[in-house]
Amino acid sequence: MISSGSRFYRKVGFGLRADEDVPTDRLGWALEQVKDIPSLIWPGQIRSVDEMNDIRTFFLSAEEKLEQNIKDPTELRTKRETLYHQTGRRYFEPYELAIRHYQSVHSNKAVFERFQNFWGNHFAIVDKIKLATFNNGPYHRETIRNQMDKRFADLVMATTLSFPMMRSLDNFLSRGPNSKFSKNKKHKKNVNGLNENHGRELLELHTVSPAAGYSQEDVINSAYILTGWGLWDGTKEKEGKKVTFMSDMHEPGTHKVLAKSYKSKGWSEKEKGENQLGEFVEDLCANPICIDFISTKLCRHFICDEPTKQMIDHIKVAWKASDGALPAIHIAVLEAADRYGDAHHKFQSPEVWLLQSARMLGGNWPGSPDNFEYDFKQNPTNNMRQPAWVLEEIGHSPFRAKQPNGFPDHGQAWLSPEYLVRRLTLSQSARRIGLIDKTRPVAGMIKEAIARNFEDGTFWDELTAKLGSQVDDKSLCVAFLCSKEVLQS
Amino acid sequence: MIIPRRHFIQGSASLMLAGNWATDVLANQRAKKNLIVIMLRGGMDGLTAVPYIGNNQLSDLRPNISVEGGQKIDGSFALHPGLKNFKSQWDDGQAAIFHASSIPYTGRSHFEGQNLMETGGISPYAENTGWLGRGMEAAGMKALSISLPMPLLLRGNSDNDNFYPSKRPMPSADVMAVLAQSYHGQDGLIEAMSKVRARPVAMNMGGSDDPDIEALAKIAARQMAQDGGPSVAVFDLGGFDTHSFQGGDRGQHARELKKYDLAIGSLKRHLGTSYDDTLVVTLTEFGRTVAQNGGSGTEHGYGTALLLSGGLLASSRLIGDWPGLKKSALYEGRDLAATIDARAAYASIMGYVFDRDHKAMVKDAFFGADLPDLTKQIFG
């Protein structure tokens, strides 16, 4: 079976849906999807970053109060359970995953979602202190998404000064050793107020990478520039939730990183802090090593594990010509995938594989939005929690990075016996959990998916011949979804 | 009291049986020796696990996070109070500590450091295989990793498998056979599928949804205790990167150490008599700064401690060359110095467990680096 389709649709997106025509111009089809920020098609409630942060703060302080005030373990358990229901403790992460997956499976501009997910992973927030539960979903779909028609430097600035990044990389605790705060005799017991965590990862993970050859002294100075940025909301809540510049904590003076000095300039203290960090971030993002590092990472994510110089250079040229404008960078990635990608295969991450499966096979994934209407009075239903469970099962919960470098972009990293077992077993349940249109015969759905999303359907003819005519639907799903041709695109 | 820089090998006297007693003879009689590596990601703080208590230097530098309730093992060092199983094994002559040691990496990046702790090389991202995988390949052994990804540490040996319990049933053997044939040209998939198909059925059944470390250790122990089962197991624990609220007796670092401790307790329990022929060793990318930072945590550092346990040790002991905590003795004035390349310990341990000559082991697993033979210090 020779089809008119192409794996390009899966390489840069989540494939073509069962009701989509094969475009006559595949590159044009893709470019159309990244020029601006598409609106969310999820019909249910969308909560802002700030709203969700309020809920998290409320939850943490209420839970702490319960633990302090209630000594009887049974009573504590009951009260805590009620609090979990009231605050959506078990609801919000799967709810955010549902919004994300609905957009990827059903929208007409799903290529855009691949880029949002890429940046969400590049600026990953580690799974700790309930950030995955309440904050990381909104961080991806608001903090990151809203910057995607701006420049890379704007995205770095927005993520750097976002609540989850400030909180998870500890900068809210960092104090310049010579700041007004540290010089105050009351605070003398602090041996050294500096916290290097964020300053290091801003260099290593978010911008220039270790290839820039920075020293420990550079890391310390990067951390000095970040001092003063912390969390405060003027109340006595358990912890501040608003990212603010507090000049009393800032290390005064000029700080030198990668041989360039950053002065403290501006009228107000806040302006000085903003200017120093702003200038620093602009320089990091314009650094050729940063441009090379991120261009390579984009090619690796979208095209193949070992991108060629041609591919990478194509992104770098667009980056430099546009001063790092994200739409221009995204367009260049799609052009490189179109021009050079057909000769290379990419083994896809579990989440991309899951969403491609659902989109290609007309799946009702993550389920009807009505299923996600929650009354905050009991445990969320199994239907509501399913997106989170399934992602955990296949080993890829996007809001739960174990380390701040996120999930690997190398396809090779997703190839282990156990990862394969998880995809094999999940494929058996594909129809039951709604990855496939339940109203139509499986064999027919697969053939249609192949016609749109593969250059050549011979592999399926061969597989089905070997499986024999008596093969059941479950086995057909496993054979298709775990075929080499679906696992890589 | 300030103890001078000195070489220390201290064992509880009653258990110091002897130097080089006939290990070779014993090795030949034993059917199988086991090596278990527990990776501690994020930078395990050797000074929280095994704090120096000879004077106030450490507690002065760590006003909010010093370990107060340590379990004394001699006049200079204590064990973290969470390391209960380790302490009981120490008392039984089955534990050892390599203090002030690290892989030879001083760049303080987690990701470069973790890459090097697994590859055993000296340039980050330069190798695609791990020192344990290469050592096992040379010794003709097979391993099981208890994790979803296959750790880099074990790559280099195509017999190695990874496993993490799950509840769902497997597809039929026929479908898997057809798929396996269709993977031609994709070596990674062929390899993964052949391991999945070779697994005993029992391994793919009856997992729990959220296994804790004790349950995982039990699974590994059961597999290892079987005839023909793996002789090497690798665990992956995260969460040691405590830049804030590190804690002392309790807190984040304590919780992670406790998980390690539960793992070795469970391994000993479920390996039964096989624990006599087992060595468990930790691996981390770096230690942490001696002084606490802003945030009552610590920063990325250098020297740390390796924790060893298991019946293959002849007696409990502290091994190493203690550099002290004076500012002038610290690496770059901030980190515990590392006075020995941890790779020398790993090479010596592998050599002993795999019955291979140290030199050959260094050549096969560590690119022939200049690593002293520490077999006697560890096992003698």
Token pair in block for residue A83: 């609090």
Token pair in block for residue A139: 């961080």
* B26 Cα to chain A: minimum distance (Å): 36
Contacts of B124 (CB under 8 A, 6+ apart): A210, B107, B109, B111, B112, B115, B116
pLDDT in tens, A452-469: 999 999 999 999 999 998
Contacts of B193 (CB under 8 A, 6+ apart): A417, A420, B176, B179, B180, B183
User: CB-based contact (8 Å) between A175 and chain B?
Assistant: yes
Phi, psi torsion values for A478, nearest 5 degrees: -60, -45
Given a contact cutoff of 8 angstroms between Cβ atoms, the answer to whether B380 and B15 are in contact is no
Percent of chain B whose pLDDT exceeds 90: 76
Closest to A393 (Cβ–Cβ): which among B112, B166, B292? B166
How, if at all, do strands B278-283 and B143-146 pair?
unpaired
B257 secondary structure, DSSP code? H
User: CB-based contact (8 Å) between A466 and chain B?
Assistant: yes
Distance CA B30, CA B191 (A): 31
Q: Using the beta-carbon criterion (under 8 Å), do A420 and B244 form an inter-chain contact?
A: no
pLDDT at residue A74, rounded to an integer: 96
The total of other beta-carbon atoms located within 10 Å of residue B366's CB is 23
The separation between CA B52 and the C-alpha centre of its own chain, rounded to angstroms, equals 21
The number of C-alpha atoms within 13 Å of B201 and in the hemisphere containing its C-beta is: 4
Q: Which of B155, B179, B191, B285 is most worth mutating to test chain A (most A CB atoms within 10 A of its CB)?
A: B179
pLDDT at residue B26, rounded to an integer: 42
User: CB-based contact (8 Å) between A190 and chain B?
Assistant: yes
Cα angle: A399, vertex A400, A405; to 5 degrees: 95
Q: Using the beta-carbon criterion (under 8 Å), do A403 and B193 form an inter-chain contact?
A: no
Distance CA A190, CA B239 (A): 24
The number of C-alpha atoms within 13 Å of B292 and in the hemisphere containing its C-beta is: 25
pLDDT in tens, B97-131: 999 999 999 999 999 999 999 999 999 999 999 99
Q: How many residues does chain B have?
A: 380
pLDDT at residue B316, rounded to an integer: 97
Please name the residue that has the structure tokens 């329990």.
B269
Residue B180: band (very low, low, confident or very high) from pLDDT cuts 50, 70, 90: very high
Q: Which of residues 129-158 of B touch A (CB under 8 A)?
A: 147-150
Q: Using the beta-carbon criterion (under 8 Å), do A478 and B179 form an inter-chain contact?
A: yes
Residue B20: band (very low, low, confident or very high) from pLDDT cuts 50, 70, 90: very low
* A231 Cα to chain B: minimum distance (Å): 13
A173: nearest CA partner in chain B? B295
The whole-number average pLDDT for the span B13-22 is 27
Give residue limits of the domains in chain A. 8-141+347-487, 151-286
pLDDT at residue B161, rounded to an integer: 86
Q: Which of residues 317-376 of A touch B (CB under 8 A)?
A: 347
pLDDT at residue B168, rounded to an integer: 81
**Which residue, among A230, A217, A216, has the nearest Cα to A179 in the 3D structure?**
A230
Q: Which of residues 196-225 of A touch B (CB under 8 A)?
A: 196-197, 200, 204-205, 210, 216, 219
Closest to A416 (Cβ–Cβ): which among B112, B168, B192? B192
pLDDT averaged per 10 residues, chain A (length 489): 81 95 96 97 97 95 95 96 98 98 98 98 95 98 98 98 96 93 74 90 98 97 97 69 91 96 90 94 98 98 98 98 98 98 97 98 96 97 97 96 95 93 96 93 95 95 95 96 97
pLDDT at residue B17, rounded to an integer: 23
List the single range of A95-99, B216-220, B335-339, B347-351 with lowest mean pLDDT: B216-220
The whole-number average pLDDT for the span B322-343 is 97
B299 interaction partners in chain A (CB closer than 8 Å): 195-197
pLDDT in tens, B230-283: 899 999 999 999 999 999 999 999 999 999 999 999 999 999 999 999 999 999
User: CB-based contact (8 Å) between A382 and chain B?
Assistant: no
The total of other beta-carbon atoms located within 10 Å of residue A59's CB is 21
Contacts of B65 (CB under 8 A, 6+ apart): B48, B246, B247, B248, B251, B292, B296, B297, B298
Q: Count Cβ atoms within 10 A of the Cβ of residue A340 and give its class: 0-12 exposed, 13-18 middle, 19 or more buried.
A: middle
Q: Using the beta-carbon criterion (under 8 Å), do A170 and B243 form an inter-chain contact?
A: yes
Distance CA A483, CA A460 (A): 9
pLDDT in tens, B131-147: 999 999 999 888 888 88
Instruction: Decide if pLDDT at B5 tops 50.
Output: no
Q: Using the beta-carbon criterion (under 8 Å), do B182 and A403 form an inter-chain contact?
A: no
Say whether A22 sits in a helix, a strand or coil: coil
pLDDT at residue B14, rounded to an integer: 29
* B195 Cα to chain A: minimum distance (Å): 6
Percent of chain A whose pLDDT exceeds 70: 97
pLDDT at residue B309, rounded to an integer: 98
Given a contact cutoff of 8 angstroms between Cβ atoms, the answer to whether B5 and B322 are in contact is yes
Token pair in block for residue B314: 């002849």
Q: How far is CA A360 from CA A27, A251, A346, A457, B293, in A?
A: 19, 54, 18, 14, 51
User: CB-based contact (8 Å) between A460 and chain B?
Assistant: no
Largest CA-CA distance found in chain B, in angstroms, rounded: 71
Given a contact cutoff of 8 angstroms between Cβ atoms, the answer to whether B329 and B323 are in contact is yes
Contacts of A84 (CB under 8 A, 6+ apart): A90, A379
Distance CA A63, CA A86 (A): 12
**Which residue, among B322, B370, B319, B309, has the nearest Cα to B104 in the 3D structure?**
B370
Cis upstream peptide for A177 (omega within 30°): no
Distance CA A141, CA A143 (A): 6
Instruction: Decide if pLDDT at B22 tops 60.
Output: no
pLDDT at residue B28, rounded to an integer: 46
Say whether B188 sits in a helix, a strand or coil: helix
A183 interaction partners in chain B (CB closer than 8 Å): none
More confident residue, A440 or B209: A440
Q: Using the beta-carbon criterion (under 8 Å), do B61 and A191 form an inter-chain contact?
A: yes
The total of other beta-carbon atoms located within 10 Å of residue A146's CB is 14
* A18 Cα to chain B: minimum distance (Å): 25
Q: How many residues does chain A have?
A: 489
Q: Which of B299, B302, B330, B331 is most worth mutating to test chain A (most A CB atoms within 10 A of its CB)?
A: B299
Q: Which of residues 179-238 of B touch A (CB under 8 A)?
A: 179, 181-183, 185-186, 188-189, 192-193, 195-196, 199, 204, 238
pLDDT at residue B19, rounded to an integer: 25
Given a contact cutoff of 8 angstroms between Cβ atoms, the answer to whether A52 and A394 are in contact is no
Given a contact cutoff of 8 angstroms between Cβ atoms, the answer to whether A218 and A204 are in contact is no
Amino acid at A135: N
Token pair in block for residue A461: 């003819």
Q: How high does pLDDT run on average in chain A? A: 95
Q: Using the beta-carbon criterion (under 8 Å), do B148 and A419 form an inter-chain contact?
A: yes
**Which residue, among B232, B222, B233, has the nearest Cα to B200 in the 3D structure?**
B222
Q: Using the beta-carbon criterion (under 8 Å), do B186 and A488 form an inter-chain contact?
A: yes
pLDDT at residue A279, rounded to an integer: 97
User: CB-based contact (8 Å) between B333 and chain A?
Assistant: no
**Which residue, among A353, A363, A357, has the nearest Cα to A437 in the 3D structure?**
A363
> Looking at the DSSP assignment, which residues form a beta bridge with residue B322?
B6
Helices A152-160 and A326-340 pack at an angle, to 10 degrees, of 120
pLDDT in tens, A215-239: 999 999 999 999 999 998 766 555 7
B208: nearest CA partner in chain A? A393
Q: Using the beta-carbon criterion (under 8 Å), do A467 and B295 form an inter-chain contact?
A: no
Closest to B162 (Cβ–Cβ): which among A191, A219, A416? A416
Q: How high does pLDDT run on average in chain B? A: 89
Distance CA B90, CA B11 (A): 10
Distance CA A15, CA A360 (A): 6
Distance CA B122, CA B99 (A): 21
The total of other beta-carbon atoms located within 10 Å of residue B102's CB is 30
User: CB-based contact (8 Å) between A420 and chain B?
Assistant: yes
pLDDT at residue B59, rounded to an integer: 94
B152: nearest CA partner in chain A? A413
Instruction: Decide if pLDDT at B368 tops 70.
Output: yes
A198: nearest CA partner in chain B? B243
Distance CA B330, CA B287 (A): 12
A467 interaction partners in chain B (CB closer than 8 Å): 174-175, 178
Indicate the CATH number for domain B6-167+206-379: 3.40.720
Q: Using the beta-carbon criterion (under 8 Å), do B107 and A427 form an inter-chain contact?
A: no
Residue B199: band (very low, low, confident or very high) from pLDDT cuts 50, 70, 90: confident
**Which residue, among B239, B216, B205, has the nearest Cα to B148 in the 3D structure?**
B216
Instruction: Decide if pLDDT at B212 tops 90.
Output: no
A482 interaction partners in chain B (CB closer than 8 Å): 179
Token pair in block for residue A400: 């739960």
The total of other beta-carbon atoms located within 10 Å of residue A347's CB is 21
**Which residue, among B307, B287, B308, B309, has the nearest Cα to B299 in the 3D structure?**
B287
Distance CA B380, CA B374 (A): 9
Cα angle: A450, vertex A456, A458; to 5 degrees: 90
